[in-house]
Amino acid sequence: MTRSRIAAAVAAACMMPAAYAVDPFVIKDIRVEGVQRTEPGTVFSYLPFRIGDSYSDDKGAAAIRALYGAGFYRDVRLEVEGETLVVTVEERPAISSINFSGAKEFEADKLKQALRDIGIAEARTFDRGQLDRAEQELKRLYLSRGKYGVNISTTVTPQERNRVAINFTIDEGEIATIKQIHIVGAQAFSESDLLKEIQLTTPGWFTWFSKRDQYSKQKLTADLETLKSFYLNRGYLEFNVESTQVSITPDKRDIYITVSITEGQKYKVSDVKLAGDLLDKRDELEKALLIKPGETFNGQVLNDSIKKINEIMGNYGYAFSNANASPDIDREKSTVAFTIIVDPGRRVYVRRVNIAGNARTRDEVVRRESRQLEGGYFDGERVRQSRDRIDRLGFFEEVKVDSPAVAGAPDLLDVNYTVKERATGTLNVGAGFSSTDKLVLTASISQNNLFGTGNSLSFEVNTSKVNRTFAISQTNPYFTVDGISQGFDIYTRTYNPSSLNLGDYKVRSTGLGTRFGFPVSDFNTIVFGVNAENTDITVGSASPSRYKQYVDLFGNSSSGATTSIAWINDTRDSGLAPTRGRYGRTSFEVTLPVLDLRYYRASAQQQWFKPLSDSFTLALNGQVDYGKGFGGKPLPLFKYYYAGGIGTVRGFEPGSLTTQRDSNGYSLGGASRIFGNAEFLFPLPGTKDRTVRLFTFLDGGNTFPEGESPSFSNLRFSTGFGISWLSPVGPLKLSLGRPLNAKPDDRKQLFQFQLGTGF
């Protein structure tokens, strides 16, 4: 055999003249030529033969098909030199870079990701046949933003080492906006009323931000479903969208949309009954029927009824139950009767409870909140309850749960909790210097999920001459496996206004305490605590009279030991951004007769969250506090309550509200306090991100001295708006408040913020 005998084309097409055919022979060696970026081993991996095998035209054809199919090579040749087979390849170039010129609507990373999804990316093999597909994919992105006049041209520049650079030149053109939306066939409702129900609209004051005047097929489909729901919820059972027509002007600037509908007639419900396998749960299932005879048909109410039926069946282990409503329409009487057929399916059990997304938080921290047990039958209510308990931990931005069936096992499923972790630590550090206060250092650090264990630990240090604080607090929510929590607090706080000539007195309190929480149900906890505290008050000749009176009664140093009990009820769906549920706390604290002080304090708080829609939430909060001394002694000054600022009544300076003040106009606090808040929360326009929410509020409250009963006439009210943000350093709330009935001596404060928890 000679070197130039060529077998490649013969094997590839199987149609070459017989003179080019190769007689079968045993391969003594295989040599690869032409590789630059790929390894020779890559070529060998696609060959259907090895050294020592017999070579034939059929095997040669299979080798060429395999190498072409790999996608790495644009030319492949097989040559024979004696008993050596030479494989010569010409590699496709690699993409060295992808660049975009003229792109303003999208970031380059967004465009590259879209191309990567269709197989075009840097370092991948270049295939010129993919360029048309790449341009179409980029155009699809721009069309989704209403840019129908976009033009894209592509330049491919060869580079050294068999590489190419791809540049997409993009002329985005103008945004096409909706010029007109016309609904044909509406009789029961005016076209203007129907247009208010849908998202797509013509240009207006805020459409530059919401983009509602930009057409997309997905938006129109969603709006047609909205129209359908609007009619179905008002009795029009046979409503139908007959056709939709979308046209664009030749200059690709204006879009016209025409929707043709048929309303049908309005129906009332004549009867509702259950059928199928009810598993002896008829009474319970009938209570779930929200749709009632005699009422106008409402599609949403019917769907809610079916959903509740499936939820009830799911609570008994029938996770895949199916309830369907069969209508019996009487057009002459304009009535419809429904038979809801229930098919519970097979009772299913939970194979595994899986946790995902918790890179830092330990599995056991999440798993111990789950009320659905492995091996037990599926309980939908317990799964939903578990999701809420995990969310109330406050460690996660998002908690999702799904229950996929186990392949090949019709009576098994898994319960998967997928979480998205958030930063649970807060660090604040500050420093300052003044001629009077000298060096001031402030620092606080708290971690609500210490090392992923679910424990919380916080330190606080403040070295200011006026306010000095050293405090440590720790809580273990699962001190025992039964869920008994344990915590302790150690602190020393000094208030010394005399150092800056603000007052001739000093108050220093040092204490320590411990507490235990006992869960009595999934939603209720009783907390017992014991605390010991010593307070030293130093007064001078110019001290306020109330501090002198206190020292005369108790002396410069007084101590107290208290025991406390609190009941907490929490059914909120989230500890950070709740949208539904309640939170209640009632507590009572009283001194023990072993030390100097004699007083008690009681507090009651109630929060209520109600979702008004998928995006809007109404939140209400109310709190009443009361303290009183006994045994012939008054309530200590340092146990008074204060109001004003975020957490009580916004629009007033923190701690400034009271019905009595000292000679300098400062609040003396009160032995009792009452305040309430109402908030209407909603997401930023155009988003559904629950970590950032806007709100409007109405606050009211005040404090009252010992012996004075709270009265409505003495309450202060304020209103305003703000924003709450689950920031990386903790929950942040900003508000702008305006007092509604401020008195001349009240101290107002327009802008306020709070970093940390609070209503």
pLDDT digit string (tens) for 66-110? 888 777 787 888 888 888 888 888 888 888 899 999 888 888 888
| Distance from C-alpha of 747 to C-alpha of 731, rounded to nearest angstrom | 26
Of the pLDDT bands very low, low, confident and very high (cuts 50, 70, 90), residue 353 is very high
CA distance 419 to 452: 14
Same domain, 619 and 662: yes
Name the domain boundary from 398, 421, 444: 421
Position 435 scores a pLDDT of: 40
Distance CA 658, CA 665 (A): 10
What's the pLDDT score for residue 450? 84
Tell me, yes or no, whether 86 and 120 share the same domain. Answer: no
Buried-state track 604-631, b at ≥16 Cβ within 10 A, e below 16: ebbbbbeeeeeeebebebbbbbbbebee
Work out the angle between the directed axes of helices 299-315 and 380-392 (0-180°, nearest 10). 90
Which is more confidently placed, 576 or 90? 90
Among 218, 246, 262, where does a domain finish?
A: 262
Q: What is the mean pLDDT of the chain?
A: 85
Q: What is the pLDDT of residue 8?
A: 41
Are 666 and 655 in contact, with CB atoms under 8 Å apart?
A: no
Give pLDDT, residue 60. Answer: 85
Q: How confident is the model at residue 17 (pLDDT cuts 50, 70, 90)?
A: very low
As a whole number, mean pLDDT of residues 112-124 equals: 87
Q: Judge whether 13 and 68 are in contact, CB under 8 Å.
A: no
Q: Are residues 730 and 747 in the same domain?
A: yes
Report the alpha-carbon distance of residue 578 to residue 418 in Å, rounded.
19
CA distances from 631 to 552, 561, 597, 640 (A): 16, 15, 9, 18
Query: Which amino acid does the sequence have at 501?
Result: N
Residue 118 DSSP symbol: T
Backbone angles phi, psi at 226, to 5 degrees: -65, -45
Per the domain annotation, does 482 fall within a domain?
Answer: no
613 and 749 belong to one structural domain: yes
Higher pLDDT, 424 or 618: 618
Q: Do 615 and 664 sit in the same domain of this protein?
A: yes
Residues 339 and 359 grouped into a single domain: no
Confirm whether 573 is domain-assigned: no
pLDDT tier at 27, thresholds 50, 70, 90: confident
SS (H, E, C) 719-733: EEEEEEEEECCEEEE
CA-CA distance, 668 to 265, in Å (whole number)?
69
To which H or E segment does residue 515 belong?
Answer: strand 505-519
The yes-or-no verdict on residue 6 having pLDDT over 60 is: no
Do 700 and 756 belong to one domain?
A: yes
Structural domain contains residue 140: yes
Please report whether residue 294 resides in a domain.
yes
610 and 701 share one domain: yes
The token duo for 711 is: 């009265």
Domain final position from 70, 91, 112 = 91
- Tell whether 301 is covered by a domain: yes
Q: Which two tokens stand for residue 509?
A: 């309190």
Do 140 and 129 share a structural domain?
A: yes
pLDDT over 90, % of the chain: 44
Are both 129 and 26 inside the same structural domain?
no
Q: Domain range for residue 84?
A: 8-91
How far apart (Å, rounded) are the C-alpha atoms in residues 492 and 662?
A: 26
Looking at the chain, the whole-number percentage of residues with pLDDT higher than 70 is 90
pLDDT given at position 16: 35
Mean pLDDT within 739-757: 80
CA distance 39 to 17: 34
What CATH number corresponds to the domain at position 642? 2.40.160.50
Domain count, the chain: 6
Distance between first and last Cα of the chain: 91
Q: How many CA atoms lie within 13 A of 50 on its CB side?
A: 2
Do residues 593 and 578 make contact, with C-beta atoms less than 8 angstroms apart? no
Specify the pTM.
0.62
Look at residue 72 in the predicted model and tell me its pLDDT: 78
Residue, of 514 and 425, whose pLDDT is higher? 514
Nearest to 220, CA basis, from 253, 193, 198: 198
Please tell me whether residues 757 and 648 are part of one structural domain: yes
Segment 690-731, tens digit of pLDDT: 678 899 999 999 999 888 888 888 899 999 999 988 766 556
Q: Is residue 407 part of a domain?
A: yes
Same domain, 220 and 252: yes
Distances (CA, A) of 265 to 271, 387, 480: 18, 43, 63
Would you say how long the chain is, in residues?
759
User: Which residues, including other chains, have CB under 8 Å from residue 524's CB and lie 6 or more apart?
Assistant: 567, 568, 569
Residue 15 lies in a domain: yes
Q: CB neighbours (10 Å) of residue 594?
A: 9
Q: Tell me if 43 is assigned to some domain.
A: yes
Tell me the C-alpha to C-alpha distance, in Å, between residue 615 and each of 101, 276, 535, 680. Answer: 38, 37, 49, 11
User: Tens digits of per-residue pLDDT, 400-428?
Assistant: 999 999 998 989 999 999 999 887 766 55
CATH code, domain with 30: 3.10.20.310
User: Over 50: is that where the pLDDT of 14 sits?
Assistant: no
